[in-house]
Structure 1
């Protein structure tokens, strides 16, 4: 009976450690997700501002990138 009790205690300790680690991972992922969302919003705000301030340059950059991507995709 003592062996079963020790095994049960070890199993409970392992379960508690796994649950704690999982909880910490979920919290970390949640924080990183929020940081990524904030970074995306900041980047989009900056991009909109650049396009608004430099419309001709933005159109030329878009055309150049489209041309290069078109050339690359036609080779495949």
Structure 2
């Protein structure tokens, strides 16, 4: 899907989502149940299950924001 305004999230929105994931990490470490985490953070249980899998596989760093999505520029640096 394409969006007229470029779509995606702003840097501020990405930061906010990362903060929510870091709150989830704290709750994972406290061994909170997925439905409780989802309710507290106001996200879907599906998201919490995905985050927990990523956290178990790669720790806190696995849930950090990877920056804006998209393709790398393929233009020659001299252009």
Bigger proportion of residues as helix: 1
Normalised to the residue count of structure 1, the TM-score between the two structures is 0.32
In terms of Rg, which structure is larger? Answer: 1
Structure having greater relative contact order (Cα 8 Å, sep ≥ 6): 2
